[in-house]
Protein backbone atom coordinates (compact mmCIF):
# COMPACT_ATOMS: atom_id res chain seq x y z
CA UNK A 1 0.00 0.00 0.00
CA UNK A 2 1.50 3.31 -1.03
CA UNK A 3 1.84 6.00 1.56
CA UNK A 4 2.58 9.67 1.38
CA UNK A 5 6.30 10.07 1.81
CA UNK A 6 7.84 12.92 3.73
CA UNK A 7 9.09 15.72 1.54
CA UNK A 8 10.96 18.87 2.45
CA UNK A 9 8.72 21.07 0.30
CA UNK A 10 5.53 19.45 -0.93
CA UNK A 11 3.89 21.91 -3.30
CA UNK A 12 0.42 22.13 -4.80
CA UNK A 13 1.94 20.94 -8.08
CA UNK A 14 3.29 17.85 -6.29
CA UNK A 15 -0.14 17.32 -4.75
CA UNK A 16 -1.89 17.60 -8.12
CA UNK A 17 0.48 15.10 -9.75
CA UNK A 18 -0.36 12.55 -7.07
CA UNK A 19 -4.06 13.43 -6.83
CA UNK A 20 -4.69 12.87 -10.52
CA UNK A 21 -3.39 9.28 -10.45
CA UNK A 22 -6.39 8.01 -8.45
CA UNK A 23 -9.65 6.95 -10.12
CA UNK A 24 -12.30 8.56 -7.90
CA UNK A 25 -11.61 12.20 -8.89
CA UNK A 26 -11.67 11.20 -12.56
CA UNK A 27 -15.00 9.39 -12.15
CA UNK A 28 -16.50 12.50 -10.56
CA UNK A 29 -14.93 14.75 -13.21
CA UNK A 30 -16.37 12.65 -16.06
CA UNK A 31 -19.81 12.94 -14.46
CA UNK A 32 -19.30 16.73 -14.15
CA UNK A 33 -18.39 17.05 -17.83
CA UNK A 34 -21.44 14.99 -18.80
CA UNK A 35 -23.74 17.03 -16.56
CA UNK A 36 -22.45 20.36 -17.91
CA UNK A 37 -22.70 19.18 -21.51
CA UNK A 38 -26.27 18.00 -20.99
CA UNK A 39 -27.14 21.23 -19.16
CA UNK A 40 -25.94 23.33 -22.10
CA UNK A 41 -27.90 21.20 -24.56
CA UNK A 42 -31.12 21.35 -22.51
CA UNK A 43 -30.97 25.10 -21.98
CA UNK A 44 -34.11 26.47 -20.28
CA UNK A 45 -32.11 28.66 -17.90
CA UNK A 46 -34.18 30.17 -15.09
CA UNK A 47 -33.45 32.09 -11.90
CA UNK A 48 -33.86 28.89 -9.88
CA UNK A 49 -30.67 27.61 -11.54
CA UNK A 50 -28.80 30.32 -9.66
CA UNK A 51 -30.54 29.45 -6.40
CA UNK A 52 -29.59 25.76 -6.55
CA UNK A 53 -25.82 26.28 -5.95
CA UNK A 54 -26.51 28.76 -3.14
CA UNK A 55 -28.77 26.29 -1.34
CA UNK A 56 -26.29 23.47 -1.89
CA UNK A 57 -23.40 25.50 -0.44
CA UNK A 58 -25.48 26.18 2.68
CA UNK A 59 -26.56 22.55 3.03
CA UNK A 60 -23.31 20.79 2.12
CA UNK A 61 -21.57 21.11 5.54
CA UNK A 62 -24.59 19.44 7.17
CA UNK A 63 -24.63 16.77 4.46
CA UNK A 64 -20.94 16.09 5.15
CA UNK A 65 -21.66 15.88 8.88
CA UNK A 66 -24.55 13.44 8.45
CA UNK A 67 -22.64 11.18 6.06
CA UNK A 68 -19.57 11.21 8.29
CA UNK A 69 -21.48 10.40 11.47
CA UNK A 70 -24.11 7.93 10.28
CA UNK A 71 -22.48 6.26 7.24
CA UNK A 72 -18.71 6.49 7.58
CA UNK A 73 -18.75 5.90 11.35
CA UNK A 74 -21.37 3.16 11.09
CA UNK A 75 -20.79 0.39 13.63
CA UNK A 76 -21.10 -3.14 12.24
CA UNK A 77 -24.35 -4.70 13.41
CA UNK A 78 -25.34 -8.33 13.61
CA UNK A 79 -28.72 -9.26 12.16
CA UNK A 80 -29.19 -12.97 12.65
CA UNK A 81 -26.22 -14.70 11.04
CA UNK A 82 -25.24 -11.68 9.00
CA UNK A 83 -23.15 -8.62 9.79
CA UNK A 84 -24.31 -5.34 8.27
CA UNK A 85 -21.20 -3.37 7.41
CA UNK A 86 -20.90 -1.20 4.32
CA UNK A 87 -17.86 -0.74 2.09
CA UNK A 88 -17.79 2.96 2.96
CA UNK A 89 -17.68 2.24 6.70
CA UNK A 90 -15.00 -0.43 6.32
CA UNK A 91 -12.79 1.79 4.17
CA UNK A 92 -13.26 4.69 6.57
CA UNK A 93 -12.07 2.55 9.49
CA UNK A 94 -9.00 1.71 7.41
CA UNK A 95 -8.54 5.43 6.76
CA UNK A 96 -8.53 6.14 10.50
CA UNK A 97 -6.02 3.34 11.08
CA UNK A 98 -3.65 4.79 8.46
CA UNK A 99 -4.56 8.46 7.86
CA UNK A 100 -1.59 8.98 5.53
CA UNK A 101 -2.29 5.99 3.28
CA UNK A 102 -3.28 7.59 -0.02
CA UNK A 103 -5.81 5.05 -1.38
CA UNK A 104 -7.92 5.28 1.79
CA UNK A 105 -8.14 9.08 1.55
CA UNK A 106 -10.40 8.99 -1.50
CA UNK A 107 -14.04 7.94 -1.82
CA UNK A 108 -13.80 4.22 -2.74
CA UNK A 109 -14.29 3.98 -6.50
CA UNK A 110 -16.54 0.87 -6.23
CA UNK A 111 -18.91 2.97 -4.10
CA UNK A 112 -19.00 5.64 -6.81
CA UNK A 113 -20.29 2.98 -9.23
CA UNK A 114 -23.64 3.26 -7.44
CA UNK A 115 -23.38 6.71 -5.83
CA UNK A 116 -22.96 8.54 -9.15
CA UNK A 117 -25.85 6.74 -10.92
CA UNK A 118 -27.98 7.45 -7.84
CA UNK A 119 -27.11 11.15 -8.08
CA UNK A 120 -27.99 11.12 -11.79
CA UNK A 121 -31.33 9.47 -10.97
CA UNK A 122 -32.10 12.11 -8.35
CA UNK A 123 -31.20 14.88 -10.81
CA UNK A 124 -33.48 13.49 -13.53
CA UNK A 125 -36.44 12.32 -11.44
CA UNK A 126 -36.74 14.53 -8.36
CA UNK A 127 -36.50 18.07 -9.72
CA UNK A 128 -39.43 19.84 -11.44
CA UNK A 129 -37.27 20.65 -14.50
CA UNK A 130 -34.58 18.54 -16.13
CA UNK A 131 -32.46 21.67 -16.50
CA UNK A 132 -32.69 22.37 -12.79
CA UNK A 133 -31.80 18.76 -12.02
CA UNK A 134 -28.74 18.97 -14.27
CA UNK A 135 -27.68 22.17 -12.53
CA UNK A 136 -27.92 20.25 -9.25
CA UNK A 137 -25.90 17.34 -10.66
CA UNK A 138 -23.21 19.59 -12.08
CA UNK A 139 -22.73 21.52 -8.87
CA UNK A 140 -22.88 18.33 -6.79
CA UNK A 141 -19.92 16.96 -8.73
CA UNK A 142 -18.08 20.26 -8.24
CA UNK A 143 -18.61 19.87 -4.48
CA UNK A 144 -17.50 16.25 -4.74
CA UNK A 145 -14.25 17.25 -6.43
CA UNK A 146 -13.71 19.99 -3.83
CA UNK A 147 -14.22 17.39 -1.09
CA UNK A 148 -11.76 14.92 -2.65
CA UNK A 149 -9.10 17.61 -3.20
CA UNK A 150 -9.50 19.18 0.23
CA UNK A 151 -9.49 15.81 2.02
CA UNK A 152 -6.45 14.63 0.08
CA UNK A 153 -4.57 17.88 0.71
CA UNK A 154 -5.22 17.75 4.47
CA UNK A 155 -3.67 14.29 4.68
CA UNK A 156 -0.75 15.13 2.40
CA UNK A 157 2.52 16.86 3.25
CA UNK A 158 1.22 20.18 1.96
CA UNK A 159 1.34 22.79 4.70
CA UNK A 160 -1.42 25.40 5.14
CA UNK A 161 -0.54 28.84 3.80
CA UNK A 162 -3.85 30.69 4.29
CA UNK A 163 -5.94 31.22 7.41
CA UNK A 164 -8.97 29.55 5.81
CA UNK A 165 -7.09 26.40 4.88
CA UNK A 166 -5.32 26.35 8.27
CA UNK A 167 -8.72 26.29 9.99
CA UNK A 168 -10.00 23.45 7.78
CA UNK A 169 -6.72 21.55 8.17
CA UNK A 170 -6.77 21.88 11.95
CA UNK A 171 -10.45 20.90 12.20
CA UNK A 172 -10.07 17.62 10.33
CA UNK A 173 -6.78 16.65 11.92
CA UNK A 174 -8.32 17.11 15.35
CA UNK A 175 -10.92 14.53 14.29
CA UNK A 176 -8.19 12.06 13.34
CA UNK A 177 -5.58 12.67 15.99
CA UNK A 178 -7.45 14.14 18.97
CA UNK A 179 -10.94 12.65 19.22
CA UNK A 180 -13.02 10.96 16.51
CA UNK A 181 -16.29 11.94 18.21
CA UNK A 182 -15.96 15.59 17.16
CA UNK A 183 -15.02 17.83 14.20
CA UNK A 184 -16.86 15.97 11.43
CA UNK A 185 -16.83 18.51 8.60
CA UNK A 186 -14.03 18.28 6.03
CA UNK A 187 -14.36 21.13 3.54
CA UNK A 188 -15.29 23.75 6.12
CA UNK A 189 -14.46 24.49 9.73
CA UNK A 190 -16.84 25.27 12.53
CA UNK A 191 -19.98 25.31 10.38
CA UNK A 192 -22.21 22.27 10.89
CA UNK A 193 -20.01 21.19 13.81
CA UNK A 194 -20.85 24.38 15.69
CA UNK A 195 -24.58 24.07 15.03
CA UNK A 196 -24.66 20.37 15.91
CA UNK A 197 -22.41 20.77 18.96
CA UNK A 198 -19.42 18.76 17.82
CA UNK A 199 -16.99 21.69 17.84
CA UNK A 200 -15.66 21.86 21.41
CA UNK A 201 -12.58 23.64 22.66
CA UNK A 202 -9.84 21.04 22.00
CA UNK A 203 -8.31 21.82 25.39
CA UNK A 204 -11.44 20.45 27.08
CA UNK A 205 -11.53 17.19 25.10
CA UNK A 206 -9.50 14.13 26.11
CA UNK A 207 -7.38 12.43 23.49
CA UNK A 208 -9.37 9.39 22.38
CA UNK A 209 -7.69 5.96 22.58
CA UNK A 210 -9.84 4.79 19.65
CA UNK A 211 -9.17 7.58 17.14
CA UNK A 212 -7.18 5.13 15.03
CA UNK A 213 -9.24 2.06 15.89
CA UNK A 214 -12.86 3.09 15.57
CA UNK A 215 -15.41 1.29 17.75
CA UNK A 216 -12.72 -0.68 19.60
CA UNK A 217 -14.37 0.29 22.88
CA UNK A 218 -17.91 0.70 21.56
CA UNK A 219 -19.52 -1.14 24.45
CA UNK A 220 -18.01 1.35 26.86
CA UNK A 221 -18.77 4.27 24.57
CA UNK A 222 -22.42 3.27 24.19
CA UNK A 223 -22.95 3.79 27.90
CA UNK A 224 -21.11 7.12 28.12
CA UNK A 225 -22.89 10.41 27.83
CA UNK A 226 -22.46 13.19 25.34
CA UNK A 227 -21.96 11.05 22.26
CA UNK A 228 -23.66 11.66 18.93
CA UNK A 229 -26.10 8.93 17.97
CA UNK A 230 -24.79 6.48 15.40
CA UNK A 231 -21.09 6.82 16.23
For the residues of the chain, what is the DSSP string, one character each? Answer: --BPPP-SS--HHHHHHHHTTSHHHHHHHHHHHHHHHHHHHH----THHHHHHHHHHHHHHHHHHHHIIIIITPPPEEETTEEE--HHHHHHHHHHH-TTBHHHHSPPHHHHHHHHHHHHHHHHHTSSSHHHHHHHHHHHHHHHHHHHHHHHHHHSSPPP-SHHHHHHHHHHHHHHHT-TTS---SSSSSSHHHHTT----GGGSPPPTTSSSTTTTHHHHHTSSSPPTT-
User: Which pLDDT score is estimated for 71?
Assistant: 96
Return mean pLDDT, the chain.
90
Q: What is the mean pLDDT of residues 168-182?
A: 96
Given a cut of 80, whether residue 224 has pLDDT beyond it is no
Q: What is the pLDDT of residues 6-22, one digit of tens each?
A: 546 889 999 999 999 99
pLDDT category, 122, cuts 50, 70, 90?
very high
**With pLDDT > 90 as the criterion, what percentage of the chain qualifies?**
81
pLDDT category, 216, cuts 50, 70, 90?
confident
pLDDT category, 219, cuts 50, 70, 90?
very low
Question: pTM here?
Answer: 0.88
Given a cut of 90, whether residue 78 has pLDDT beyond it is no
Q: What is the pLDDT of residues 123-166, one digit of tens each?
A: 999 999 999 999 999 999 999 999 999 999 999 999 988 999 99
Among 107, 123, 114, smallest CA distance to 68 is for 107
Amino acid sequence: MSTLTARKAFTLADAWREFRTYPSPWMILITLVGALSARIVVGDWQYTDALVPLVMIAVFPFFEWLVHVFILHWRPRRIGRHTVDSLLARKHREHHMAPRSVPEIFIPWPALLWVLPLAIGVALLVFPRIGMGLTFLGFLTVLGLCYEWCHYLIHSDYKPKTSLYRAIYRNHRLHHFKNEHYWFTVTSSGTADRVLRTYPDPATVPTSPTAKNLHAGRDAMSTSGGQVAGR
